[in-house]
Structure 1
Amino acid sequence: MRERQAIRHRRRAREFEAFVAGAAGRLLHAATLLTAEPPDDNARARQLLTAALARTYADWERLRGEDPYDHTRQDLAARFARTTWRYHQHGRLCAPHHREPVAGDGGGVLERLTPQERLVLVLRLYEGVAEEQTAAQLGLPAERVRAICTRATAAMRSTPAGPAAEVTAP
């Protein structure tokens, strides 16, 4: 009995290791986009991903045919959404609708967006999650998700404010 259990645990560990080897890079990139941290200094993204992977490992036997990548991505997004309310950036609480201050120090690509805008943009455009699925996961109407995605895309296409955007005439 113990031997069968040990064999099952080793098989589970090998399957999970193979999953992590294939998916961790993309999931870490998604987490880094969510946290708006620079790719070379993404401690918060790594913490989010580690917790999401731990949950996936704990649920591994119960997944039974479910996509472990999708499971991990959903957990990652949910953890980001929950912690956004408590996360302090530059000494103040950041709510999902509140724009975080732009550090201007070469931070993450999406740092100009609100946490909610980042979450929708990453799920919709980077991860390719359908609008309806994103809405269901976030508990929002699909129209709201569409509006947030449109606003976030427009914000990313606009020229950033600040000295770099100023053009002086000769």
Structure 2
Amino acid sequence: MSETFHEFVVQRSPALSRTAYLLTGDHQHAEDLLQSALARTYRHWRRIRDGDPEAYVRRVMYHQQVSWWRRRRVAERLDATPVERGGGDHTENTALRLSVVAALRRLTARQRAVVVLRYYEDLTEAQVAEVLGCSVGTVKRHGHDAVRRLRDLVPDLWERTPERSGR
């Protein structure tokens, strides 16, 4: 294995793993997604190592997730409420976090990718457009639609923002 690729994987895997989880909503699928993206990245490492390899991995993860989502969307059924699991932390923050994860799953794959890249990865609209291979206007439209949908699905999140709560 290339020494530079190994260093890249060691340094960036935690952040890329979090992104994969946000795209999939499932730890095991996230691990599979990241592993698949890193394998594809390794095949092209010589060409991309001097550019922005992290953006390349994100782009591969997004496209792979959309591909997987298209294949399984017919068989998958999402419930309006998350499944209750016993023996965990039942604080208000945990309930809100679960609601947000459930709401993210109800967004389209592209809307979820825009939200994750824009608000979690803190990329600009232009950077998100580059990663997703679309126009800035498309990013804005999907971002707007996703935020509106999230506000409808998780009104508590909207009420907790510093602007709304007076903090």
Q: Give TM-score scaled by structure 1 length.
A: 0.68
* Aligned partner of 1:17 among 6, 28, 31: 6
Unaligned runs of 5+ in 1: 1-8, 94-99, 162-170
Distance 1:121 1:133 in 2: 13
User: What one-letter code is carried by the residue in structure 1 that aligns with 2:125?
Assistant: E
Deviation at 1:130, TM superposition (A): 2.9
Alpha-carbon RMSD: 2.6
Unaligned runs of 5+ in 2: 85-97, 156-167
Q: Give TM-score scaled by structure 2 length.
A: 0.69
SS in 2 for 1:86: helix
User: What one-letter code is carried by the residue in structure 1 that aligns with 2:115?
Assistant: L
Note if 1:119 corresponds to 2:104: no
SS in 2 for 1:104: coil
User: What one-letter code is carried by the residue in structure 2 that aligns with 1:138?
Assistant: L
Distance 1:18 1:64, change over 3 A: closer
Distance 1:64 1:16 in 2: 8
Distance 1:121 1:15, change over 3 A: same
Map Cα deviations across residues 99-156 of structure 1 (whole Å, 9 max, x no partner).
x444512667222322221111112222233323433543544223212112222333
Q: How many residues align?
A: 139
Aligned to 1:149: 143
Greater Cα offset, 22-31 or 137-146: 137-146
Aligned to 1:63: 48
User: What one-letter code is carried by the residue in structure 2 that aligns with 1:154?
Assistant: R
Say which structure is richer in helix: 2
Q: Which has the larger radius of gyration?
A: 1
Distance 2:60 2:151 in 1: 29
User: What one-letter code is carried by the residue in structure 1 that aligns with 2:146?
Assistant: A
**Is the CA contact (8 Å cut-off) linking 1:117 and 1:149 kept in structure 2?**
yes
Instruction: Indicate the percent of aligned positions where both proteins have the same amino acid.
Output: 32
Deviation at 1:46, TM superposition (A): 1.0
Distance 1:111 1:140 in 2: 22
**Is the CA contact (8 Å cut-off) linking 2:56 and 2:131 kept in structure 1?**
no
* Aligned partner of 2:33 among 36, 48, 64: 48
